[in-house]
Structure 1
Amino acid sequence: MSRRHELTDEEWALLQPLLPPDPPRGGRWRDHRTVVSAILFRERTGITWRDLPERFGPWKTVYQRKRRWAIDGTWTRICDALRIDCDAEEGEDWTVSVDSSSIRAHPHAAGACHIPALDHPKKGKPQRTNRAAGSASDGPGAG
């Protein structure tokens, strides 16, 4: 029985042949199933690497294995193999939809823009205006 966000036996049966050979037992290495479950857990929950539950082992081990598999092409092989069952009409050209509720925008993407006309010509600061006249102030008492 697997926990939420972890590999089921059926999922593991699909992935296991696509991974490199398991590391030797008894060493400091985690088995691949635990590491893949940890990677999927992190991706599905959005937590930081350091917040991985202890049952997955050291977070750095999981991170390094994910990175190693990205570099050596393991993840590409997995995606290619699992794509075999994709919609025949769409083939390899999948359409991906990204929803703004799942992707954070950079704070500068919130619509705030710089308006040069409001800047002071020499200092780059906004001009003070005379509230009554609505014009730029030349200093105290001007207006």
Structure 2
Amino acid sequence: MDPYRDINDEEWQRIAPLLPELRPRAELRGRPLANTRSVLNGVLWVMYSGATWSAMPRKYPSYQTCHRRFKVWYASGVLKRVTALLFGAASEELCTLMEARMRTHPGPEQKRPDADKARDIAPAIYKPTPATPLPSSPFAFGSPFKHAA
């Protein structure tokens, strides 16, 4: 792949219709929505560079915003369509690398039942060695600072 660069105006015109439109808040409180194009550039930078989200350059919106939108775009399949349009065949490799880096948390149905059995068996297998008795005090020797009374 070529070194990463932000998407240009022509690329943005092609992929903008693929991105879901974020509705402005009904109330005029809180922070304004981050620019979708700069968020996408931040997401693509992380995907392309392999860096962590918190290492994003300051020219992009906050990494929390970029990561939140990445998760939404990834779950809806929008991100695969956008990268396929931008990078062509190389997008498969890019998405595969990103999927490998994503954390997955097992649900209750995915937990291993073997782990519970191993925890129950472990106390029966473990036999501690007898410990040698410790001296009554670590300062049992004669201390030059103690005064005899």
Q: Compute the TM-score of the two structures, normalised by the length of structure 2.
A: 0.47
Q: Compute the TM-score of the two structures, normalised by the length of structure 1.
A: 0.48
| Larger Rg belongs to | 2
